[in-house]
Every structure is written in structure tokens, then in C-alpha cells.
Amino acid sequence: MTRAILGSTKGSSSAAASRSAAAPPAPAPPSEARRRNPGLESKDDRTGGRAIARRIAFVNEKGGSAKTTLVASVAAWLALERAHRVLAIDFDPQGQLGKVLGVDVRSLRRSAIDLVLDGLLGDGSRAPLRPTAQAGSLPLVATRIPGLDLIPAEKTLGLLPGGDWAGHEGSGRLAERLRRAKELSGYDYVLFDAPPSFGPLTLNVLRAAEEIVVPVPLTFLALDGCAELVRTISMVRARHSHPALRISMVVPTFYRRTRLAHDVLEKLKCRFPKEIAQTVVGFHVKIDEAQSRGLSIFEYAPGDRGARALAALAEELEARGSDASGGIG
């Protein structure tokens, strides 16, 4: 049974957005979950601050499969309900993760593109592509939710200047930048929101992550994208020496009580017997409504069935742990 979901939000989303835009993330105050239950352990309590963040990418080339929704919801749940420190990284030029988390991305001076440009600036053989005052630090912003930080994206991410972005060096820029980032050791989870395509941006995400969550809308063409993703994972493992990369969860989304949805679900279970999530996410209008207001479903409609489904899913992902078996590819 899923644990109770936390309720009230502090202040309006627009006020929160302006706070987010103005302030770099400070150490998170004790979360509501921690205040309610001082016995909850944080990563630092457990490990003395060792860098063990789970790095999980939400990937499916199919547009509108609920990648952004799941990243935002899982991130919010882990921070609100488990007092985890979570970093959500938007690597999609649509920049929607910031919007659904209530951050005014237009007012930010730095975003995900600085992650890759910072890497280039560090290469003395190239002229700077874009001056950044704080090239040494990650472009983090705090969200309204204590413990949840964001690296936002905006459309310039899709205009990366020339270079071999799909090649070994170019596709490893995000991973390399994060490997050097001291700030990352403060997080329990790093969640990546990937764009709806298998281009260089997604390749960068796959090389920076170790686990993959695949949201699959239960529609006719859903399995095509899965097959392509499995091939891509095999390629990344072999060609880019990243054997740890694996699918930790396949999440059926937009379930409706139709024969077609049922058939697709059965096929998914056969194809991914270990990875398939127990939780099937249906269509819940409150989820869409919450996102349009820049709120998590747990703040907007904590008693809704959609909130319960997303909480159960986040709990499942948490329970699978970083050693979840994958074996795909």
C-alpha cells in the first residue's frame, strides 16, 4: 500500500518561480517528511557524504509518453515523502520540466546548455563559444520543493554549435561534466529528462546515466520505440564502454480499459518480464491540471487516483534500488 502523500504547497507557483529564478539552491531545510519523522535517514546520515546518487534517465523516443511527467513526479515524491536530495536535469530543448516544476525558465541566465559549453570552455584549444561567468559551477536552481533542485533547459540546447555531438567525445560531454561536478555528491538521485528522439542529446543522457526508466504509452506503435531503445542501449554499452547502463523499469502509461491497451500491456510484460512496473499509470486529468499550474500532483490533488499511482510508481522505483536487475541489450 502506498504511503500517505504530503499535501499543502507553500505560496503560489508564480511566487515560487520568481524565488527559484533569483536564488541559487541553498542547503535544503529539513523537509516536511523529515520534520514529521526525524528518524528518516538522508544520504549523508547513511554514508558520510559518499557520492552514490542513482542516475536515472527517463527515455522514450516517442513524444508525449509521459517522460517529463514521471521525472517531475518521481523527483517531487522522493524529496517530499522521503527527504531525499534530488537533482532533476532537463536535457530537452522544449524546457518543459522547469515549467511543470513551477520554475520560470525564461528568467534564468544559465541552463543545461552551459553544462556542455562549460566543457568546451575548459578545452584551451577552442575559443569560448559563450562566455559564462560561473563556468565552474553547475547551473542549478532551487525549486519550491525542499530538497529538489533543477538544471533547466531551454531551446538553445537544440542549437548546439557544430562538432561531432554523436561521436565519442561529443556524446560524452554531459557525463564528463557531471563526473567533475563536486555539487553532485550532495544528491541521492539525479533524474534526467530526455527529448523525444535518439539524437546527440539523448546519447549524452544515456552516457551520463546508469539506469533507464522507459515510459510506454499503451498504444499501437508503443513497442517500436522500445525495440529501438534496446538497440541504442546495446550500442552505448559496447561502443562507449558503459556496461553498467541498463533498463531498471518499463512503465505503462496512459492506460485505458480497452482491448488494445490490454494487448499492448501483455506484450510489454512478455518483452520486459523483470523490468515491467507493477504500477500502471492511467489517464488522470488532475495530473495534466497540476502540471499546467507548475505544481506536483502531490501538492495539487494528493487524494487523486493519479497521485496515488505516481506515488506507488516512485516507491517502486526507489525499492528497486541501484542494483535492480536489467539485462536488457
Ligand X SMILES: Nc1ncnc2c1ncn2[C@@H]1O[C@H](COP(=O)(O)OP(=O)(O)OP(=O)(O)O)[C@@H](O)[C@H]1O
Residues that bind ligand X (CB under 6 A): 63-69, 92, 94, 96, 196, 253-254, 281, 283-284, 287-288, 291, 306
Nearer to ligand X, 28 or 105 (CB): 105
CB of 176 to Mg ion, least distance (A): 24
CB of 253 to ligand X, least distance (A): 6
Nearer to ligand X, 281 or 317 (CB): 281
CB of 310 to ligand X, least distance (A): 8
Would you say 298 and 6 are in contact if contact means Cβ atoms under 8 Å apart?
A: yes
Nearer to ligand X, 284 or 320 (CB): 284
Nearer to ligand X, 165 or 283 (CB): 283
CB of 63 to ligand X, least distance (A): 4
Instruction: Please choose which of Mg ion, ligand X, none residue 66 contacts, taking the beta carbon within 5 to 8 angstroms, the exact cut-off set by kind.
Output: ligand X
Instruction: Please choose which of ligand X, Mg ion, none residue 299 contacts, taking the beta carbon within 5 to 8 angstroms, the exact cut-off set by kind.
Output: none
Nearer to ligand X, 119 or 196 (CB): 196
Nearer to ligand X, 42 or 253 (CB): 253
Residue nearest to Mg ion (CB): 68
Task: Give the C-alpha separation, 286 to 296, whole Å.
Answer: 10
Nearer to Mg ion, 68 or 291 (CB): 68
CB of 116 to ligand X, least distance (A): 19
Instruction: Count other C-beta atoms under 10 Å from residue 308's C-beta.
Output: 19
Instruction: Please choose which of Mg ion, ligand X, none residue 301 contacts, taking the beta carbon within 5 to 8 angstroms, the exact cut-off set by kind.
Output: none
CB of 239 to ligand X, least distance (A): 25
CB of 23 to Mg ion, least distance (A): 25
Task: Give the C-alpha separation, 183 to 151, whole Å.
Answer: 12
List contacts with Mg ion (CB under 5 A): 67-68
